[in-house]
Structure 1
């Protein structure tokens, strides 16, 4: 799934956060958008997801303008959003159930994805019984079980310790490469950006920071 952003201006209230932004994401690419807090990273993700109205310009996903949310586009947030009264398996099943997938199929898909993220033995555990990294694995399984063509990740590992974060980074890259899912990953961490991205775009004050982007490109080789 391709993403083409043309002249995007978007924000909250009267002050735009993004200004006349142009960006292209190729099918299957893992693009990392890096930059300091307040530069527009999350605003960009919300605009692509269809969660935020666009003031000017347009966002095209596979050539079609974004006019709202879609099951083909999934968002992964820093907060895992798991329902505390549902175990890991039933949390992964939930969006499939809401989408009308029958119980046998959704249960099989949920179990397969929990196994893929290393949680086959934890399907009956409630969120409070899981570590932060394990909850993020459940969130990743829940997202990918839906079969999205585009995944938008908003600093999903920001609250994890360094060791768990590194393990999650490896898992995400491995799984997304396997599925060929187009991904836009937002982070303020330069090391994470270099480690994860096929390509890194740096934002600064709502625009592409060409100078810093060139420095990162040189570091990535």
Structure 2
């Protein structure tokens, strides 16, 4: 177990958003957090990242209270947040440089990860010279190059066109390894069922359902899809 929420209540501007959430996040799993807009998905992710304190209950990382951000819990957003004056390589190198990694080692690791996400040969390009999907690949390489134990992803592919989004979903599964826990936020049912080992559905101010997704990741069982949609309580969220 990497992260544990024990009767956690979270608030935004003193207004409770989630109450009494109990959830064990397993080491090495891809846990998808799904739900309608405003249900608390991003609030929960911010708490896991150490950016938002719990109002009540316990939020533990390997048995210790989460009291703030940690390099072991890396964040990836919908906005790629790349520095426009740094090349793809130097963007990936940045967190490694902050940690004090020697230049030759961090350059080698940055190039290795850029190659793993399909950007070999584009190491020296600036963000303005990359497509939206390529910039998200750089962000994914930057997040994973640091070797975090948990990657927290807040709808990272939401702004991409459908084809690029599917490519990024496949890429995430390909480069993810069983030593890294992924918590992935989405409001898209198909994305949740495509990526998740489990899908935690938020609704009604808490955890509405926790759905196990069998492996291998193939076309989702219609009954699982129906279960997630029922937990969401809003068939209008269904996507094609």
In 1, Cα distance between the equivalents of 2:88 and 2:125?
Answer: 6
Structure 1's consecutive aligned runs of 4 or more residues displaced over 3 angstroms after TM superposition are none
Residues 198 and 211, structure 2, Cα contact 8 Å, conserved in 1: no
Residues 211 and 224, structure 2, Cα contact 8 Å, conserved in 1: no
In 2, Cα distance between the equivalents of 1:32 and 1:18?
Answer: 17
User: What does residue 190 of structure 2 align with?
Assistant: 191
Alpha-carbon shift at residue 11 of structure 1 (Å) = 2.0
TM-score, length of structure 1 as denominator length: 0.94
**Pairing 1:219–2:224 present:** yes
Q: Structure 1 residues 175, 31: CA separation in 2 closer, same or farther (over 3 Å shift)?
A: same
| Worse-matched range after superposition: 6-15 or 106-115 | 6-15
User: What does residue 209 of structure 1 align with?
Assistant: 208
Instruction: Kindly report which structure 2 residues correspond to 1:102-117, keeping only aligned pairs within 5 A, or say none.
Output: 102-117=102-117
Aligned residues: 218
Mark the runs of 5 or more structure 2 residues left unpaired by the alignment.
Answer: 213-219, 228-240
What is the CA deviation profile of residues 78-116 of structure 1, one whole-angstrom value per residue up to 9, with x for unaligned ones?
001000000100000001111111101111110100000
Q: What is the CA RMSD across the aligned residues, in angstroms?
A: 1.8
User: What does residue 238 of structure 2 align with?
Assistant: none
Alpha-carbon shift at residue 41 of structure 1 (Å) = 0.5
In 1, Cα distance between the equivalents of 2:205 and 2:156?
Answer: 21
In 2, Cα distance between the equivalents of 1:96 and 1:205?
Answer: 41
User: What does residue 51 of structure 2 align with?
Assistant: 51
Instruction: Kindly report which structure 2 residues correspond to 1:57-76, keeping only aligned pairs within 5 A, or say none.
Output: 57-76=57-76
SS where residue 60 of structure 1 aligns?
strand
User: What does residue 25 of structure 2 align with?
Assistant: 25
Alpha-carbon shift at residue 205 of structure 1 (Å) = 3.2
What is the CA deviation profile of residues 30-52 of structure 1, one whole-angstrom value per residue up to 9, with x for unaligned ones?
11010001000000110010011
User: What does residue 7 of structure 2 align with?
Assistant: 7
- The structure with higher relative contact order (CA 8 Å, sep 6+) is 1
Alpha-carbon shift at residue 213 of structure 1 (Å) = 5.2
What is the CA deviation profile of residues 162-209 of structure 1, one whole-angstrom value per residue up to 9, with x for unaligned ones?
000000000001111x35311110000000000000011100133111
Mark the runs of 5 or more structure 1 residues left unpaired by the alignment.
Answer: none
| Worse-matched range after superposition: 15-24 or 178-187 | 178-187
TM-score, length of structure 2 as denominator length: 0.87
SS where residue 171 of structure 2 aligns?
helix
| Worse-matched range after superposition: 5-14 or 36-45 | 5-14
Residues 30 and 197, structure 1, Cα contact 8 Å, conserved in 2: yes
Greater helix percent: which structure? 1
User: What does residue 175 of structure 1 align with?
Assistant: 175
In 2, Cα distance between the equivalents of 1:108 and 1:62?
Answer: 31
In 2, Cα distance between the equivalents of 1:112 and 1:22?
Answer: 38
